[in-house]
Amino acid sequence: MGDVLDIIVKRLALGAVTLLVISIIIFGMVELLPGDVAQAILGQGATAENLAALRARLGLGDPAIVRYFDWLGGAVLGDFGSSAVTGTPVGDLIGPRFANTLFLACYAAVIAVPLAITLGVIVALLRNTIFDRVANVATLTAISSPEFFLGYILILYLSVKTGYFPAIAKLSSDMTFLDLLHRTFLPALTMVLVVVAHMMRMTRAAIINLLASPYIEMARVKGMPAWKVIVKHALPNAWAPIINVIALNLAYLITGVVLVEFVFVYPGIGQLLVDSVTKRDFPIVQACCLIFAATFILLNLAADVLSILTNPRLRHKK
């Protein structure tokens, strides 16, 4: 167990360094954007006094290095500053939106993970059959299709033509949980179609790779049914790569929802990021990008730890 704790500490330290580098890149990219931020926010009709007041509030008169460390120090403490457009604290704006994004990601994950593992096992059992070939074509098509394209196809057939689900995922405080699931089904299904294909193919590949192992051959020689061989012998030993791909796809569900939220006008952090870029509200843009990066790093850490815990050979130093 001590070896696992050492690995976790090292991964956390490496993640912190990675996040620091990403924060520098985020701040630097915003600084390199052309034009006057204050002028872009207030418009061409802004007076000199208003422009000067906004520049002072944003600290644009300070050197970039000073503004970076001020922003980084606040971010470490959970204070991302205030919106350049409304003056509202960034944390108050991001908090509810991030909760909505987490709900959508969990909704999609609850459907995608068991579905992908089940389909992966079935395809491995029916390897080189018509079902296997059709599944491969379908998964390659889903992986190759952009999220916004899948989203618009679902809107066309499940909303416009049939009216089964709303095209816009509009949320309200008085809706029931069932209403929430119904209104967010199309964006969740869009993400499910993308991640299920990847996870299913990885599950299939991991299981097929193990089917040639000696202990699998021994189980077959003893007359054990094919499904039992996979479920009791192959699948437990294939968890490490499967967990890795699941964690990476869960990271995508949280950090890659920008296009999906934009298509369905879903009030998540991705939609907030798009709106903030349009308005040049850079404190929100920086905070959103940093949260996305931190989420991705933490989920990668979780994938590494779970892979170690599910593989006894990785739990001890060689």
The 3-class secondary structure across 200-237, one letter per residue, is HHHHHHHHHHHCCCHHHHHHHHCCCCHHHHHHHHHHHH
Whether residue 52 is found in the same domain as residue 126: no
Does residue 82 form part of some domain?
A: no
Does residue 254 form part of some domain?
A: yes
Does residue 207 form part of some domain?
A: yes
pLDDT value at 209 more than 60: yes
Q: Nearest CA to 170 among 89, 271, 287? A: 271
Whether residue 275 is found in the same domain as residue 210: yes
Whether residue 66 is found in the same domain as residue 14: yes
The torsion region of residue 213 among left (phi > 0), alpha (psi -120 to 50) and beta comes to beta
Query: Residue 268 belongs to a domain with what CATH number?
Result: 1.10.3720.10
pLDDT value at 138 more than 80: yes
119-141 mean pLDDT = 84
Give the C-alpha separation, 204 to 19, whole Å: 33
From 51, 76, 101, the end of a domain falls on: 76
Whether residue 98 is found in the same domain as residue 188: yes
User: What pLDDT does residue 157 have?
Assistant: 92
pLDDT value at 316 more than 60: no
Whether residue 97 is found in the same domain as residue 215: yes
Residue 69 structural domain: 2-76
Q: Which has more pLDDT, 247 or 46?
A: 247
Whether residue 150 is found in the same domain as residue 296: yes
Q: Look up the pTM and report it.
A: 0.83
Highest mean pLDDT: which range of 2-16, 55-69, 121-135: 121-135
Tell me, what amino acid is at 138?
Answer: A
From 20, 45, 76, the end of a domain falls on: 76
Give the C-alpha separation, 1 to 68, whole Å: 39
Whether residue 184 is found in the same domain as residue 299: yes
Domain count, the chain: 2
pLDDT value at 19 more than 80: yes
User: What pLDDT does residue 107 have?
Assistant: 92
Does residue 70 form part of some domain?
A: yes
